[in-house]
């Protein structure tokens, strides 16, 4: 089953997505998500210049060999660009394998361990009332878990807040990074009042999550976690800059609020200490950014050994292909925790047709062979790439601050 084509599709149907398309000699086509938000063209170039030519002539059935060839064979291994590229190849090959055998990928992973994938939605608002109204609308639609963010009153802008009712926020907004002011003190003082209001008005009958976006020091994270204990958070996410695994030892000393981290991790080595020392409760590595289904499955197995559950990244900058790939893994692993899901705004639906569907707080996969996402290349061509960047943060004195 020789690979005869490997092409990259870059498109911006509302936001930028990079898709790898692999074609075999017998005409089977597989797709992988190669989107790396704000660095899209680096993965595009990595694939086109350094990976696609090496795929031609290889046996598409040998996913494990191709993965090892691209990972072990690269002197400059690891990192988000390389691992997103490898992830796209891996998912495209799983898609091909499923289509060639006529089964959905989750069947190849051992079959379903659950009926559907519990997701959490993103609620946010310009103030507490607006954020709670948004959260309530998710609960009315059947969601059992909601991430809650609100604008910090003392700041002009806060990342992760939608721009109006009925909308979802867009992670990347400017053609250069917008500069926002960050104040940790204002944040730590405000957040308990948001979560208190959420529990007071919406009750305790749903999972409540929050994302700190890597902005705190370990002791600040400990203080935040402790201050939120009365509100029984499902997790606080990305409390401190994620590259410092040992920082979580200090956070753990101060709070029983569950911790989640890992959406920016590329490999199992990035979370080896975190998992092995049980320093987190949920690991957020995602299929497209951490080497595909093959590698994230290994991370999840490692996590299972230590009682750490999964909670994969699923923001809108992961394409429908990346989300679908995650769902196959979520459906099959023993230690599934939760899946983030922001959805995709039109006109993304003109380019990507998915077989997964929402029902009563869950995403359900059908029995479409492979990953189950169709790509309309003519539609993709109507939406050329537009440079878009995440904002950056500075303190009030002008210092750059962490994400
Ligand atoms: O900032 O996906 O949990 N979700 C998040 C996202 C990330 C973007 C980065 O590309 O943190 O909003
Ligand atoms: Co996050």
Distance in angstroms (rounded) separating the CA atoms of residues 130 and 136: 10
Question: What is the whole-number distance in angstroms between the Cα of residue 210 and the centre of ligand 1?
Answer: 12
**Domains along the chain with CATH numbers:** 3-104 (3.30.390.10), 108-374 (3.20.20.120)
- Ligand in closest contact with the CA of 260: 2
Distance in angstroms (rounded) separating the CA atoms of residues 118 and 130: 25
Give the DSSP letter of residue 75.
S
Q: Which atom of ligand 1 is nearest to the CA of 213?
A: 11
Contact between residue 377 and residue 7 where contact means Cβ atoms under 8 Å apart: no
Question: What is the whole-number distance in angstroms between the Cα of residue 48 and the centre of ligand 1?
Answer: 26
Question: What is the whole-number distance in angstroms between the Cα of residue 315 and the centre of ligand 2?
Answer: 8
> What are the phi and psi torsion angles at 29 (to 5°)?
-115, 135
Q: Nearest C-alpha to atom 6 of ligand 1 is from which residue?
A: 315
Q: Nearest C-alpha to atom 12 of ligand 1 is from which residue?
A: 171
Q: Specify the residue for token string 């250069």.
A: 176
Q: Nearest C-alpha to atom 1 of ligand 1 is from which residue?
A: 171
SS3 assignment, position 387: coil
Q: Which of 344, 319, 311, 60 is nearest to 207 (CA)?
A: 311
Question: What is the whole-number distance in angstroms between the Cα of residue 262 and the centre of ligand 2?
Answer: 8
Ligand 1 pocket test: pick from 238, 263, 282, 344 the residue with the most ligand atoms within 8 Å of its Cβ. Answer: 263
Sign of the CA dihedral with 170 first, then 172, 177, and 183 last: positive
* Tens digit of each residue's pLDDT, the chain (403 residues): 999 999 999 999 999 999 999 999 999 999 999 999 999 999 999 999 999 999 999 999 999 999 999 999 999 999 999 999 999 999 999 999 999 999 999 999 999 999 999 999 999 999 999 999 999 999 999 999 999 999 999 999 999 999 988 888 999 988 999 999 999 999 999 999 999 999 999 999 999 999 999 999 999 999 999 999 999 999 999 999 999 999 999 999 999 999 999 999 999 999 999 999 999 999 999 999 999 999 999 999 999 999 999 999 999 999 999 999 999 999 999 999 999 999 999 999 999 999 999 999 999 999 999 999 999 999 999 999 999 999 999 999 999 999 9
**Contacts of the segment 261-265: beta carbons below 8 A, 24+ positions apart:** 261/237, 262/313, 263/237, 263/238, 263/289, 263/313, 263/315, 264/80, 264/214, 264/289, 265/289, 265/290
pLDDT of residue 165: 85
Q: Nearest C-alpha to atom 10 of ligand 1 is from which residue?
A: 37
Active site residues: 159, 213
- Ligand in closest contact with the CA of 338: 1
Q: Are strands 17-24 and 362-364 parallel, antiparallel or unpaired?
A: unpaired
Distance in angstroms (rounded) separating the CA atoms of residues 379 and 352: 9
SS3 assignment, position 92: helix
Element (H, E) at 8: strand 3-11
Contact between residue 43 and residue 317 where contact means Cβ atoms under 8 Å apart: no
Give the DSSP letter of residue 49.
I
Q: Which atom of ligand 1 is nearest to the CA of 38?
A: 10
Distances in Å between the Cα of 149 and the Cα atoms of 18, 129, 232 are 28, 11, 16
Contact between residue 360 and residue 117 where contact means Cβ atoms under 8 Å apart: no
Q: Nearest C-alpha to atom 4 of ligand 1 is from which residue?
A: 315
Widest Cα–Cα separation across the chain: 61
Question: What is the whole-number distance in angstroms between the Cα of residue 209 and the centre of ligand 2?
Answer: 11
Q: Nearest C-alpha to atom 11 of ligand 1 is from which residue?
A: 213
Distance in angstroms (rounded) separating the CA atoms of residues 218 and 247: 6
**Which residues lie with the beta carbon below 6 Å from any ligand 1 atom?**
37, 160, 171, 211, 213, 263, 313, 315, 317, 340, 390
DSSP string, 180-243: EE--HHHHHHHHHHHHHHHHHHH-SSSEEEEE-TT-S-HHHHHHHHHHTGGG--SEEE--S-TT
Question: What is the whole-number distance in angstroms between the Cα of residue 267 and the centre of ligand 1?
Answer: 18
Q: Which atom of ligand 1 is nearest to the CA of 238?
A: 11
- Ligand in closest contact with the CA of 340: 1
- What tokens appear for 260 in the block? 């989640």
Those residues whose C-beta lies under 8 Å from the C-beta of residue 196, and which sit 6 or more positions away, are: 230, 231
Those residues whose C-beta lies under 8 Å from the C-beta of residue 205, and which sit 6 or more positions away, are: none
Q: Which atom of ligand 1 is nearest to the CA of 169?
A: 12
pLDDT of residue 211: 98
Q: Which atom of ligand 1 is nearest to the CA of 315?
A: 2
pLDDT of residue 166: 83
What is the pTM assigned to this prediction? 0.98
């Amino acid at each position: 089953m020789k690979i005869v084509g490997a092409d990259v599709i870059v498109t911006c149907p509302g936001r930028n997505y990079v898709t790898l398309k692999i074609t075999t000699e017998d005409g089977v086509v597989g797709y992988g998500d190669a989107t790396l938000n704000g660095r899209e063209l680096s993965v595009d170039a990595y694939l086109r210049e350094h990976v696609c030519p090496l795929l031609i002539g290889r046996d598409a059935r040998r996913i494990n060999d191709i993965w090892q060839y691209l990972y072990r064979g690269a002197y400059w291994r690891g990192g988000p660009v390389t691992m997103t590229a490898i992830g796209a190849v891996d998912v495209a090959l799983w898609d091909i394998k499923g289509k060639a055998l006529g089964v959905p990928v989750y069947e190849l992973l051992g079959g379903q361990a659950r009926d559907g994938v519990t997701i959490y939605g993103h609620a946010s608002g310009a103030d507490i009332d607006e954020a709670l109204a948004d959260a309530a609308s998710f609960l009315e639609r059947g969601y059992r878990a909601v991430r809650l963010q609100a604008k910090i009153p003392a700041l002009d802008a806060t990342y992760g807040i939608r721009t109006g009712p009925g909308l979802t926020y867009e992670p990347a907004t400017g053609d250069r990074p917008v500069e926002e002011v960050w104040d940790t003190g204002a944040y730590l003082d405000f957040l308990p009042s948001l979560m208190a209001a959420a529990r007071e008005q919406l009750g305790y009958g749903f999972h409540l999550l929050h994302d700190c976006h890597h902005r705190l020091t370990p002791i600040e994270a400990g203080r935040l976690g402790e201050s939120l204990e009365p509100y029984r958070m499902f997790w606080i996410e990305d409390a401190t800059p994620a590259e410092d695994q040992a920082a979580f030892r200090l956070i753990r000393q101060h709070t029983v609020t569950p911790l989640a981290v890992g959406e920016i991790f590329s490999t199992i080595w990035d979370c080896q200490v975190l998992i092995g020392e049980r320093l987190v409760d949920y690991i957020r590595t995602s299929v497209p950014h951490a080497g595909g289904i093959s590698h994230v499955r290994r991370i999840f197995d490692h996590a299972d050994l230590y009682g750490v559950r999964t909670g994969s990244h699923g923001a809108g900058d992961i394409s429908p292909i990346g989300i679908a790939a995650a769902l196959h893994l979520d459906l099959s692993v023993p230690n599934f925790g939760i899946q983030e899901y922001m959805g995709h705004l039109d006109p993304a639906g003109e380019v990507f047709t998915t077989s997964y569907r929402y029902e009563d707080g869950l995403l359900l996969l059908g029995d479409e062979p492979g990953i189950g996402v169709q790509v309309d290349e003519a539609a993709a061509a109507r939406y050329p790439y537009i440079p878009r960047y995440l904002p950056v943060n500075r303190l009030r004195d002008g210092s750059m601050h962490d994400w």
